[in-house]
Each structure stands twice: as C-alpha cells, then as structure tokens.
Amino acid sequence: MASFTNSFVVFSIISLLACSINGQLSPNFYASTCPNVQNIVRVAMRQAVIREPRMGASILRLFFHDCFVNGCDASILLDDTATFTGEKNALPNQNSVRGFEVIDTIKTRVEAACNATVSCADILALAARDGVVQLGGPSWTVPLGRRDARTASQSAANNEIPSPLASLSALISGFAAKGLNARDMTALSGSHTIGQAQCFTFRSRIYNDTNIDPNFAATRRSTCPVSGGNSNLAPLDIRTMNRFDNIYYQNLMTRRGLLHSDQELFNGGSQDALVRTYNANNALFFRDFAAAMVKMSNISPLTGTNGEIRSNCRVVN
C-alpha cells in the first residue's frame, strides 16, 4: 500500500481506521500511536551494522525464516522453555539464526517511547529493511500492523524453510506455497549477496557438485574440510560480502554460487535468463527485491485481535 502524503491527513486517518478494521497492514499504522518507531529502528540498525556488518544479513535472514513459518509473526523470536518448544532449535535455525539481541535492544527502546504498542513482528520487518539499506541496498515502504504469535512450530520450521541443498523445482514450489512466484524467489535469493554460511551447508557443493568453478571450490575447501569444521564460515558472495549489490548473480554465471540452491538458479533452467538480467541491471534487481520483500512481509500476518503485542520478544505475555 502506498504511503499517504501529509496533505491528506483526514484521508490518512480514515484509511488507517479502515485498514485496522479490515485486518490489513498499512505503512501509517503507528502514525499517531508511535510516530518515531521507524527512526528508533533505523538508528539501532545503523549502530548494529557499524558494529558488525554481518548483522544486516543476519537480521534479514531472521525475518525470512520467520515469515516462512506460519507467516511474519515473530514466532522465531520465542525462546524454548520447560513447557514451550519454539523454532530456534529447528534444523535450519539451530546454532545458525542470530541477531536476537539486536531485536531485544530495539524492542527496549521502542517500549520506552511507546509502551505496549509496536509488535516484535513489525520491529523485525523494519529492522530487515534498514539492515539492507545500511549495506547499500534498496529501501521500501514496510506495511505495518502485524501482531505477535503466541505459538511457534518447530516442525514447520524444519519442513518449510528452503534447504541449501534444494533443487530448482523444490525452490520454486516452496516459494509458491507461500504465495511467491519464481521471479520473487530469484530476486529474494539475491539476499545472498551479503552474509556468510557455515561449512556444513555447502560441503556437498564444493566436494560433489560438478557445476562449480574449480578454483572457487579449492578456495572453499581450504576452510571447509571433508569432515569437521562444520561451523567454519565462508562468504555467500566471495567478492563483496558486506555490500548489497548484484554481484551474487555474476557469481552464479561464473559457477561460484556457494550453496547448491544458489547455483540451481543458473544451471540450464528456467531462471537463467533472469539471473543474466539481474547481473546486467542492478536497478531492476533492487526494484524486484524490494517488491518481493513487501510481498513476503505480507505472508499471513496476525492483525486485529489475533495474537498480541509482546512486551518481551522472547516470551509470550
């Protein structure tokens, strides 16, 4: 939904009320209840990324893994307890997803400004965008008004988050199940222009795949042995891992995709032409990525009286 201009204040209020009643999201959801929330998140993410550039990628991945499990509802932020099993220890997340303390910091600051008003789900959606922007990527208007889940699903996290070993057909069908088409999938995969991956996620790629540049494979094998070193890190984009750009697609065209699932996008299949297009047109990649992020952020949000506004993102109220 497009942002409303200040010259249409009355229209904005009426529209905001309509959105709330209909359970839809609006970029102006907190315009009167927490007008400074976006600036609070932006400042905190700037500080976090300056402190550790990798954090931009980590928060983006956290948001992605949240949205793919029962929608964008902050369920991934919930800690396990003696009586509650969350998603943090699901196979795609265990010892892997990170950035929870950054979200905690933002939540504390937001609560100080406007108590019990802004959901953890919305904070995560804003933080994902701002991390991308801090690393030179595109911005987009984040629709707001999500509420937080009171539940989580470790089994859904195990089954619905795309695997780094996935084939192209599995990627396309997995994204389609979330309402995202193949173009969305290829654009969102461009998020692998930033961040790092653990050895165990790409070991089979560098030792077993044949559609890989031999020098690239040798470089990666130097820090990812046949056995052991599972948590050793390698950049998803060997050239500009802390810069959000379209080099990821160039890497795919030279058979230097780190994950098997990355290289599947350029391996004689249906996405080859789009990979070439994004490699040649960074502006188009940015536009499509931003649009796909908005689309992904609209997956099954809790609105209205569903869910809650958690006071602590790690536990239900």
- Annotated binding-site residue numbers: 66, 69, 71, 73, 75, 87, 162, 192-193, 237, 240, 245
Catalytic residue among 65, 88, 203, 205: 65
**Residues at the annotated binding site for Ca(2+)?**
66, 69, 71, 73, 75, 87, 193, 237, 240, 245
**Residues at the annotated binding site for substrate?**
162
DSSP notation for the chain:
-PPPPGGGHHHHHHHHHHHHHHT--BTTTTTTT-TTHHHHHHHHHHHHHHH-THHHHHHHHHHHHHHTTTSSSSGGGPPPBTTB--STTSTTTTTT---HHHHHHHHHHHHHHSTTTS-HHHHHHHHHHHHHHHTT----PPPB--BB-S---HHHHHHHSPPTT--HHHHHHHHHTTT--HHHHHHHHGGGGSSEEEHHHHHHHHHH-SSS-HHHHHHHHTTS-SSS-TT-EEESSSS-TTS-SSHHHHHHHTT--SSHHHHTTSSSSTTHHHHHHHHH-HHHHHHHHHHHHHHHHTSS-B-TTSSB--SSTTS--
Is 260 noted as a catalytic residue in this protein?
no
**Residues at the annotated binding site for heme b?**
192
Active-site residue list:
65
